[in-house]
Structure 1
């Protein structure tokens, strides 16, 4: 739950929205450049993206080399902050999807409504909260449903970075299912975990679908 909420509901969703809003009225070349940078992580195969994050965060990785250049002590980030590491890795890879969804939905917001709110004296935050967000609400709910379901079943990224460790600090249900079935030969227990995982995904889907129907 910590991993799903941190990397999908908060991380990918909010960061994707922020990038889409900040680039909405910028020059085309700037939007294209930012889009290429963000989408490049999304189009990478999950295994390649996981190794890229590992190369950045491990003891001899890029981050520690940068910190050493600033005179700071390096750390083993995958051991000292494993959950933060896997959350940031998933946010880096998956934010592009949310960004593209919100860029498309923001382009459909009527400009006359935003301009009318501006004339009435509404600030940037109030215009977004009271005008833009209600209009794109269905896109927000749809995006949340899709990225939540994808994140619940994420396996490769976490397995490459921490394999669920240290201890069981980053052991999500897919990793527990894999370890139970294939490492400890408890096929029945692994199957039971897969059923629980399926039920959790179904519960999220029902909640989001109900929210979408209420918007009709």
Structure 2
């Protein structure tokens, strides 16, 4: 069963990513604790994790404030990924070794197992494995230049946590997208790899935008 800290962290992370708090807005522990019906301790612990994630920042005078991630920032990050990652996938289809493709498949199997589990940390595990998958694909492209351009986009705090929006079905759909990409790599089909990656990222962006539009919890 998830701890109170994990439940508070998951809820606050979803709200932050959905744009429920304005950039620069102060997170008030007492109000959050009352709203979520918990003590202030798990709220404080959750906020510490959010600070480590790069989503909030402690300000000595103001307390904890929300860092700014506007819709345009997210759209730009996905636009850049859509330009670069399909190309990386196409190059990987031409250069990846069998061992590198096997690693991608193993990561994706782990992601599926995590998504299907009832573990309290399953979302954390899924998002970490997803991040590993995309980094491993970049490595398989065997291009230091492409890798340096894309890695910073993969590790943006707002991008890493996208799985806090995902339903069980969304997670499994992402696994299937990865399978399509892996199949293209095994076939050495650069065009298919590019198309599969572009579809995967477009679907992710669409889901992200849907959660940011009109579905954020109201602030009172």
What is the TM-score normalised by the length of structure 1? Answer: 0.28
More strand by percentage: 2
More helix by percentage: 1
What is the TM-score normalised by the length of structure 2? Answer: 0.28
